[in-house]
Amino acid sequence: MCLEWVYSLVGPVDQFHRWKSGTGLPAESYCRMLRNLCGDESRELEWELVLHELSLRRSAEPSGDTVSVDDFCRRFPGFRPHLLKYVEDAELDETRALDPTRSTDEMSRTLSAAPTQPRTGVIPELDLDATTLELSEVDDGSSATLLSDSFEHDRSSVLGRCGPFSRLPPLLLREIESQLEDLVFPPDTYLTHQGDPGDGLFIVQSGEVQVRTRSESGESRILATCGNGEILGEMALLTDEPRTADLVASNDVTAKFLPVTVFEDLASKYPVISRLLTELLADRLGQRGHDALAGKTLDQFRIVKRLGKGGMAIVYKAEHVDTALPVALKMMSHRLVYDLNALKLFQREARIIEGFNHPNIVRMIGRFKAFRSFFIVMEYCDGTPLDKVIRKDGPLDAERFCHVFRQLCEALAYAHERNVVHRDIKPSNAMLTADGTIKLMDFGLANPLDTDSDEQRGVIAGTPRYMAPEQLRGEDVDTRADLFSLGCTAWKLLTGKDLVAHRTLKDIQKCHDNWKPPTFDNLPGDVQQFLQSCLAFAPNDRRVNLREFPR
């Protein structure tokens, strides 16, 4: 009876009204209340609350780009299998990185999100199962290396009630709390000034703190007002950059302060602390509204606005401070700064496109390191991805299709002649600019043919609906896999529909098992033959020369 009564107070109806009104509470708040009052019997209802938040947030975002299943898996590791099963049963419109050695029935898949634009283009990122780092053992039975939503903290714990820190085990929290300093700020007092060095981290205990930025002309603007439990100052602390905003007490404020020297000492003993704060920083950067980097100058480039955010990277529009040349800055997400494999993939993409020079491939201008992250400077393309063109204008007629597809073939032929397999050819990875030029983008999954396949063994990278059968089976792939994806792309451009329209991996595999290339009746015979050959089931039967189509 207790469970039913509590659920009537904190159930989906309350969630619905809060999220629709813009005052949504995280599912953790509801789940914590259920657990405190009803114990373990609340688990089934907790899952319903988690799923309901995911559904509400995805429906509230037009493109869904700020709502990541990866984030939900990280927040609720105990529900990870259920979340992955939910995604598997839902529409497979996101690029995936899958582990074929794990059972689909066990729902143990690794999902990745898109770097270059909302919900597209994927690179393998942090293994969501790998919550433990190689650290010293602790003697109370709870690993000091673990991030979890399931820890029970003492009510007197300051950090136990503080969002991100509550995911650390109690033993570690007690050690951190023992070194916090107590600070008091009267109204209108500055906690920090914009441009100050990052000397520590603040945790607000009472009162309100305004976050303000000052423009070059001296004009001040309020970005946010923060209260009890809010963490402030993590960006300067983690990036070694000056503080990006003023922090001003709106009224009487009490706060805990973690000095940078103490933070560095604790982080050296317990790297999980740095990982926790970098995840917080990754969540705060690339926001749809004001971004913490907006207006900042990095390596001669002034950031204008965010273009897209995914699991691997955030992409900004920027301009050169001297020439005003517009560029796109692709910043590796701080969430991955401790993932050496993710760094290797990010740097490999830079090396691949650094050597490219083709009018139909996005050009790389340079790269640099800043904010304790890595940036790729790319040509800024003012245009629309092909998937959005189809969504807005409908399928392409034969003449426009040939104009677009010719350029795609030329770009892909150029990459293949340099022994590079793109591995994620699809409409959303091709930009149509205002002058009708096609730009092939997002080589984040690209793989040189001479790369040791051992580093990719056991990983399927790409978008399931556009994958060649051998790619979906986890086999080593070559340029012929891109041809199959190119054929699927052609079908989408001509019909506005997915050639492989199934909603689960199992159904996609069944479709491949009974594969028959479609006919393209509205196109000339030689073009039909070209596309049908691209879509042959066996790689050896995809006998096409990409240079033939333009001719």
Q: Which residues pair with 298 in a beta bridge?
A: 301
Buried b (16+ CB within 10 A) or exposed e, 156-189: eebbbbbebbbbbbbebbeebbeebeeeebeeee
Strands (DSSP E) along 296-417, which ranges?
297-298, 301-309, 313-320, 326-332, 364-370, 373-379, 383-385
What pLDDT, on a 0 to 100 scale, did the predictor assign at position 460?
A: 67
Buried b (16+ CB within 10 A) or exposed e, 78-106: ebbeebbbbbbeeebebbbbbbeeeebee
* Domain ranges (residues) in the chain: 2-90, 179-270, 383-541
Fold adopted by 179-270: Jelly Rolls (2.60.120)
DSSP 155-183: TT-TGGGSGGGGGS-HHHHHHHHTTPEEE
Quote the tokens at residue 389.
């063109």
What pLDDT, on a 0 to 100 scale, did the predictor assign at position 393?
A: 92
What pLDDT, on a 0 to 100 scale, did the predictor assign at position 27?
A: 79
What pLDDT, on a 0 to 100 scale, did the predictor assign at position 46?
A: 80
Report the alpha-carbon distance of residue 163 to residue 228 in Å, rounded. 10
DSSP 113-149: --SSBTTB-------TT----S----SSSS-TT---S
Write the burial class of residue 13 (CB in 10 Å: 0-12 exposed, 13-18 middle, 19+ buried).
exposed
Whether 199 contacts 238, CB under 8 Å: no
Whether 201 contacts 263, CB under 8 Å: yes
Residue 36 to residues 9, 43, 80, 150, 551, Cα–Cα distance (Å): 14, 12, 22, 12, 70
Q: Would you give per-residue pLDDT tens digits along the chain (551 residues)?
A: 444 444 444 466 667 666 666 666 777 777 776 666 666 566 777 887 888 788 777 766 554 445 677 778 778 877 877 777 676 555 444 444 433 333 333 322 222 222 222 222 332 222 222 212 222 222 222 333 455 655 777 778 888 878 778 888 888 888 888 999 999 999 999 999 988 888 888 999 999 999 998 877 778 888 888 888 888 887 777 676 788 889 999 999 999 999 988 888 887 777 677 767 766 766 666 555 556 677 778 889 998 888 877 667 788 899 999 999 999 998 887 766 666 667 777 888 888 888 899 999 999 999 888 877 888 999 998 899 999 999 999 999 989 999 999 999 999 999 999 999 998 899 989 999 999 999 998 887 777 776 554 344 445 677 888 999 998 888 888 999 999 999 999 999 999 999 988 877 788 888 899 998 888 887 888 888 899 999 999 999 998 889 887 76
Q: Residues 6 or more apart from 181 whose CB is under 8 A from it? A: 256, 257, 258, 259
What pLDDT, on a 0 to 100 scale, did the predictor assign at position 98?
A: 39
Whether 291 contacts 299, CB under 8 Å: no
* Token pair 């209108």: residue: 188
CA-angle at 125, arms to 364 and 348, nearest 5°: 30
CATH of 383-541, one of 1.10.150.120, 1.10.510.10, 1.20.58.1290, 2.40.50.140: 1.10.510.10
